[in-house]
Amino acid sequence: MPSTVYDSTIFRDAFGTPAMRAVFADEAYVAQCIRVEVALAVAQGRLGVIPREAAAAIAAKATARGIDYATLKAETDNVGYPIVGIVHQLQKQCGEAGRYLHWGATTQDIMDTATVLQVREALAIVAADLAALDKTLAGLSARHRTTVMAGRTHLQQALPTTFGQKTAVWLSMIRRHRARLRELEPRVLVGQFAGAAGTLASLGDRGLAVSDALMDELKLTRPDMPWHVARDGLAETVALLALVTASLAKVATDVMLLMQTEVGEAFEPFATGRGSSSTMPQKRNPISCELIIAGAKAVRQHAGLMLDAMLADHERATGPWHLEWIAVPESFIAAAGALEQARFMLDGLIVDAERMRRNLDITGGLIVAEAVMMALAVHTGRGAAHDLVYGACRAAMENRTPLLAELEKLAEVTRHLDRPALVRLVDPANYIGTAPAMVDRLLGKS
């Protein structure tokens, strides 16, 4: 029976995706382990380490389709690892040639390299999702480069910005993560083959040749040194997923706040019944945002778990390695779920530019007090201008009047700035600085 959100019939597509679950399914993992065992035999046959005929027989007969999972489970429960059980079943499949299976290898060689093969497939899914988000956010940024809205600091209106500038900030994070992923792959997509204690002693002077041939067969990078007790590569991979999902959670937080009733400037895509309440018919809850944030927190916790897994003792760890069996699959599945929710949300994001403009006006011009101060400072100096505008702002708040009305009462202001100038200065649309230029600069970079 499914027992977690990752395999639950009810929740699994809220916290993951079918494609990513397929990468880390039991059947997929066993198939990758068998792929490594076969590749090892083929490489060794080519080098003459085992008979060529035996290698050919293993390549022809060893298959995941014939695995009895009940038997494999029983043997794994007894041994503690699945490889012995897999090899036993493959030996039966391969007949006489089966005695040359797993030649010079140790369990962790096969499991680690199989995990790297899974990670390669999983990173390709992540890369595709990031590329799709890049395209969507670039479109939003271009479309809304001059859509004026309130920029908020400490949850209060601060200065005008544009929605395109906001989405371009989101886009800049996604592009950095795409670069990080490209930089990460050469460090992580490295096979592991080092034998019982990392010396490949059982293969005599052929150890390195076999290792190199195995990696070439699997199209993985050759390891400079064994990494069975140096786990920084997989830890870095989960750390990247934590960074990606944390950025998605920042986007989700922004959208969730923009969806508040009192703000109402942007919304998740509408679908009948989505985000509704069982008791409040009017509700439109930020469901994708909530799932993204939950997924990001789960991946963050696993990033910490992967750091614990790095504490391997001597030449074979006594338990930290097992933490990766939990953290790596769940991190990728949770990250895939967050990416899927982000793609759905941003692809159909509803932007209310009119509401953004109305919200800009609720302060009666206070949001552009800085614009007035800087224009006045040219004539009075910054300190004096700050004090004059500060006084006008306090009066506007106390009297509940527009800032323009209070400014026009001050001779020290009107002496330097006439009404047309003040009207222009208190219009938020005239104080967005270089926001559009920033968007253009980012979009000009591929």
Beta bridge partners of 149: 161
SS3 (DSSP) at 161: strand
Cα–Cα distances in angstroms (integers) from residue 225 to residues 101, 193, 209, 222, in the given order: 24, 9, 13, 9
Contact 109, 192 (CB under 8 A): yes
199-226: buried (b, 16+ CB within 10 Å) or exposed (e) per residue?
A: ebeebeebbebbbbbbbebbebbebeeb
CB distance 200 to 208 below 8 Å = yes
Distance CA 302, CA 400 (A): 51
CB within 8 A of 75, min separation 6: which ones?
82, 84, 85, 88
Contact, 35 vs 67, CB < 8 A? no
Indicate the pairing of strand 350-351 with strand 266-267: antiparallel
Q: 2: how many CB neighbours lie within 10 A of its CB?
A: 11
Cβ pair 369, 402 in contact under 8 A: no
The whole-angstrom distance between residue 284's C-alpha and the CA centroid of its chain comes to 26
Per the DSSP assignment, residues forming a β-bridge with 145 are none
Report d(CA 109, CA 101) in Å as an integer: 13
Q: Are 57 and 94 in contact (CB under 8 A)?
A: yes
Q: Which residue, 369, 361, 377, 362, is CA-closest to 406?
A: 369
Return the axis-axis angle of helices 107-143 and 163-188, rounded to nearest 10°. Answer: 160
- Enumerate the active-site residues: 154, 277
